[in-house]
Structure 1
Amino acid sequence: MSVNYFTYNGRSSLEFGLLILAWTVRFPTPERKIEWVEVPGRDGSLTIDEGAYRDVEKTISCKMQIEYPKTIDEQAKELSEWLHGQVGWGPLWFSSDPDYLYQAICYASYEVEKELAVLGAVELPFTMRPYKYNLEGETARTVTHGDVLFNPEGREAKPMIKIPAGGVRDFKLVINNGVTSRIYTLAGLPNKAVTMDCEREEIYTDSENLSLKMTSYRGQYPTLSPGKNTITFGNSSDTVEIIPKWRAFV
């Protein structure tokens, strides 16, 4: 029988005797956030597209091998402490999809069913973000004026950009994807390291929120388009650290 396993919040399902049947690892596609509006006297509906996607609900079917001398109740308690012990989103990784990392949370109830003296079954409910992240895009890289970052995925990436301290100054970032050049300007940065979290749409130092200092087209945060992205700066001597966070739909 072909089996797989997963890790969640830094621990492996194998520690708890959990194995996933290979053919159960399937994911529904994320649903786009669209509001449907009915207009009296008009055929069909109008749609308001929010330009975003909903989280995905996924149940993972597992077999649980009971590790003697533990009982199934003892092992189920340890499982619950692992999955429900941390509130909030955590990293989820599957051995069947080793190149990607998911963001997930397990908060709903579940039951461990005893099948044999040394074997149980459980359906684990996870809620997942609509994107999974290419592990190659989770590594920070130093970027200088004119460097090219290649996005291997089919979706825009929302990177983490870290600007080193360099005196009180203005900072200009330009990203050219071969079709358009998008300009992002930060005015009057303090002499501190600054982080731009483009996914959360936050700009900050260790003690200050700087989000209002950015000007860009429609107030949008930097993204990395599929394919080539040429990075330049207003000052060609500037250097930043970028975690690209390449991503694909789950």
Structure 2
Amino acid sequence: MIKHYHPYVKFNGTSSLELDMIIENGGSFESAQPDIDQIEIDGRNGVLLVDNERLKPVNRSFPFSFVTDHYRHIAFREEDAAEWLSAKGFKNLELSWDQDYIYKAAVVNSFDVTETVRKFGKGTLDFLIHPIKYLKIGQIEKTISNGGVLFNPTKREAYPKMTLTGTGNVTIKINDQSLVLKNITGGIVIDNENLTVTYRGQSQYDWLYSDFVHLDKGKNVISWDNSAFTLKIIPNYGVKV
């Protein structure tokens, strides 16, 4: 494996350096854009813009080179790269030049072994990127004390994953928001980003009696009204890609 002072990407737990692959300059860096529909209306000039209040995913390409000039070695690495990039769905992506953040990325086009790759050891890694990248410090699960504080350092609201342990009814307050849960048996996981409520892998939406919640920018005071429960939170602090 080549040294870590070369630029690299780490996808689904594997670094490109482990495949003798370094990332070169010249990749495309499209920013996340709002999802806005343009509606044409008969008899009206121009279009009506409808904001869907979400960001679109972005496509990013990273040119790479295999650090070897041996034809047979490149052929082996091509096979390794194709296997590496065959993961289904969104996986964690880390960039060596943006080390404070974790991206969510998917490979939607197969890794094609072109003649350029085969002859010269060069090619392009193409990813579909989730429009939010996440601070690594916000991916660490924290045990919260009743009345405790989390500070969101970003300029965006964050949508935490919350794990409650306990039985009964409980209302959790985050600043002025209330998350109301009833008839819990043993525990519950509330994923406020993906809008899911589960316990031991089973959906439990019938335990949720309120809207989902978020962490405000800055200070968040968190409390709950039933001392039989304990709470852990993964904050998911993020910024726009």
Same fold (TM over 0.5): yes
In structure 2, what residue type is equivalent to 1:76? E
Give TM-score, length-normalised by structure 2: 0.89
Equivalent position of 1:28 in the other structure: 30
Q: Note the C-alpha offset of 1:113.
A: 4.7
CA contact (8 A) 1:194 1:204 kept: yes
In structure 1, what residue type is equivalent to 2:131? P
For 1:58-73, what aligned pairs fall within 5 Å after superposition? 58-66=60-68, 70-73=72-75
Q: Note the C-alpha offset of 1:68.
A: 5.1
The size of the alignment, in residue pairs, is 236
CA deviations on 1:128-157 (whole Å, 9 max, x unpaired) are 111111000010111122111111111111
Change over 3 Å in CA distance of 1:49–1:114 after alignment to 2:
closer
For 1:1-250, what aligned pairs fall within 5 Å after superposition? 3-21=6-24, 23-24=25-26, 27-66=29-68, 70-84=72-86, 86-109=87-110, 110-114=112-116, 120-164=121-165, 166-167=166-167, 169-176=168-175, 181-190=176-185, 192-206=186-200, 208-216=202-210, 219=211, 221-235=212-226, 238-250=229-241
Q: Distance in 2 between matches of 1:81 and 1:207?
A: 29
- Superposed CA RMSD in Å reads 2.2
In structure 2, what residue type is equivalent to 1:213? W
SS of the residue corresponding to residue 40 of structure 1 reads coil
SS of the residue corresponding to residue 78 of structure 1 reads helix
SS of the residue corresponding to residue 163 of structure 2 reads strand
Q: Distance in 2 between matches of 1:154 and 1:25?
A: 27
Q: Distance in 2 between matches of 1:67 and 1:148?
A: 55
Q: Distance in 2 between matches of 1:115 and 1:54?
A: 31
- Gaps of at least 5 residues in structure 2 are none
CA contact (8 A) 2:27 2:60 kept: no
Change over 3 Å in CA distance of 1:68–1:140 after alignment to 2:
same
Change over 3 Å in CA distance of 1:145–1:67 after alignment to 2:
farther
Give TM-score, length-normalised by structure 1: 0.86
Q: Distance in 1 between matches of 2:118 and 2:44?
A: 60
Q: Note the C-alpha offset of 1:43.
A: 3.2
Q: Distance in 1 between matches of 2:18 and 2:30?
A: 27
Q: Distance in 2 between matches of 1:20 and 1:148?
A: 40
CA contact (8 A) 2:75 2:118 kept: no
- Gaps of at least 5 residues in structure 1 are none
Q: Distance in 1 between matches of 2:69 and 2:15?
A: 15
